[in-house]
Chain A
Amino acid sequence: MTAMKKTVVFAAAALACSAALADEIRNYRAEAVAMMKRDFKAKGIATTDRLHEDGVQAVCNRSGDNPPKDIAARLEKDQLDNVRYPADGKLMGDWKAGEKLAQSGRGMTWSDKAGVPGGGNCYNCHQIAPAETSFGTLGPSLYQFGKTRGSGPDMQKYVYGKIWNAKAFNLCSAMPRFGHANALTEQQIKDLVALLLDPQSPVNSK
Chain B
Amino acid sequence: MKQRTSTLLAVAALTAALAAHAQQPAKKASPQAKAAAPAKSDISKEFEKFREVLEEDNPAELFEAKGEDIWKNKKGPSGASMAQCDLGLGAGVVKGAYVRMPRWFADVGQVMDAERRVVHCMIKYLGYKEEDIRKQPFSNVNKTPDHVSVITYVAAQSRNMKIAAPQKHPKEVETYNIGKEIFAYRAGPYDFSCASCHGADGMRIRTQDLPNLRKPAEAIRAYQGWPGYRMTGGFMLTQQWRMNDCFRQQRFPEPSYLSDSITALLAYMTVTANGQVYKGPGIKR
Contacts and interface: CB of A to CB of B under 8 A. Distances in A.
A61 interface: yes
B252 A51 contact: yes
B190 A176 contact: yes
Contacts of A183: 189-190
A164 B48 CA distance: 38
Contacts of A25: 177, 181
Contacts of A132: 26
A125 B205 contact: yes
A88 interface: no
A1 to B, nearest CB: 23
Contact of B31 (A110, A134, A182, A206): A206
Interface in A39-57: 39-43, 46-48, 50-53, 56-57
Contact of A32 (B26, B41, B182, B190): B182
B140 to A, nearest CB: 14
B187 A43 contact: no
Nearest to A131: B26
B253 A61 contact: no
Contacts of B28: 131
B218 interface: no
Contact of A109 (B27, B29, B34, B248): B248
Contacts of B260: 35, 38-39
B249 interface: yes
Contact of B252 (A31, A40, A125, A176): A40
B259 A39 contact: yes
B124 interface: no
> Which DSSP category, helix, strand, loop or mixed, fits chain B's interface?
mixed
A60 B199 CA distance: 14
Interface residues of B, number: 53
B261 A35 contact: yes
Nearest to B34: A130
A35 B178 contact: yes
Contact of A36 (B190, B196, B197, B261): B261
Give chain A's interface residue range (CB within 8 Å of chain B): 35 or more
B34 A133 contact: yes
B108 interface: no
B184 interface: yes
A36 B255 CA distance: 8
B254 interface: yes
Contact of B186 (A31, A53, A127, A131): A53
B255 A61 contact: no
B206 A123 contact: yes
B181 A28 contact: yes
Contacts of A125: 205
B31 A176 contact: no
9 contacts: A39-B259, A41-B253, A51-B188, A57-B187, A60-B191, A64-B184, A65-B186, A110-B248, A143-B34
Interface of A: 24-25, 28-29, 31-33, 35-36, 38-43, 46-48, 50-53, 56-57, 60-61, 64-65, 105, 108-111, 123-125, 127, 130-138, 141, 143-144, 167, 174, 176-177, 181-183, 205-206
**Ranked 8 nearest A-B pairs via Cβ:** A32-B181, A39-B259, A176-B190, A43-B254, A181-B189, A50-B188, A39-B261, A130-B31
